[in-house]
Amino acid sequence: MSYRYPHSIALAAVLTFGTLAGAQAVEYKQVNATASQISFTYNQMGARVYGTFGKFEATIDFDSANPAAAHAALTIQLNSIDAGSRDANSELQKPAWFNTAAYPEAKFVSSSVTALGNNRYEVKGKLTLKGVTREVGAQITLKPQSAIGVFDGEFILKRGDFKIGEGEWADYGVISNEINIKFRVVAPEQ
C-alpha cells in the first residue's frame, strides 16, 4: 500500500503571508479563509503528489503605503491535511510524521516584509512545526481584483529540517525532502 505524504505546511506558513500591496495606498486586515487555500506538492517514488490543508486561520495587517510595517500570522490545523487518501491522512498523524497528538498545529509569524517592486514582496518569519522553529521566507505577488487583494505565494519546505518523515520514511529517494508549499490568501480592501 502506498501512502502520500506532504510535509510541510507551511506552513504555509508563510504562507499566508503575502500580505502586501500596490501603487495606491490600500489596507488589508481581514482574510477570507473560505476563498484562501494552502496546498503542497512533493515527489513520492518518482511521481508528483498533490495535497491541501483544509483548516487554518490567518491574520494580516498590511498597508500598501508602508509594506515594511506589515504583519501576518498563520495557524494550520495539521489534522486537516488531505493527502489523497484516508490511509495517507491517518499515517500523517503518527509520530514519524506530524505527531498531531503532541503537535496539532503549525504556526507562522512574519518578522519582515520587503517590497520587490511590481506588487511582489518577500515575507520572512518563523515557522514552528512539530516542536521545531525555523526561519522561512516566501515570494508573494499581490493581484488586486475589484476591491479584493489576492496574495499568491510559494516556498520550499525541507521536511528534514522539521523532523517530518522519520524512521523508515527518512529516505528522500522514496519521498522527497523538498515540499513545494503554495498558498493563496484572499483579503478585502479596508
The grid cell for 186 is 484572499
In a domain, 100, yes or no: yes
In a domain, 80, yes or no: yes
In a domain, 12, yes or no: no
Torsions phi, psi of 4, nearest 5?
-110, 135
Does the pTM of the predicted model rise above 0.75?
A: yes
Domain span holding position 92 = 27-188
Write the DSSP symbol of residue 90.
H
Q: Are the C-beta atoms of 177 and 144 separated by less than 8 Å?
A: no
Number of domains comprising the chain: 1
Query: For position 117, which CATH number holds?
Result: 2.40.128.110
Query: What is the tens place of the pLDDT at every residue in 7-34?
Result: 333 333 333 343 333 346 788 988 998 9
In a domain, 5, yes or no: no
Query: What is the tens place of the pLDDT at every residue in 40-74?
Result: 999 999 899 999 999 999 999 988 889 999 999 99
Q: Which of 46, 13, 16 is nearest to 30 (CA)?
A: 16
In a domain, 17, yes or no: no
In a domain, 114, yes or no: yes
Burial class (CB in 10 A: 0-12, 13-18, 19+), 58: buried
Q: Which of 96, 88, 93, 91 is nearest to 105 (CA)?
A: 93
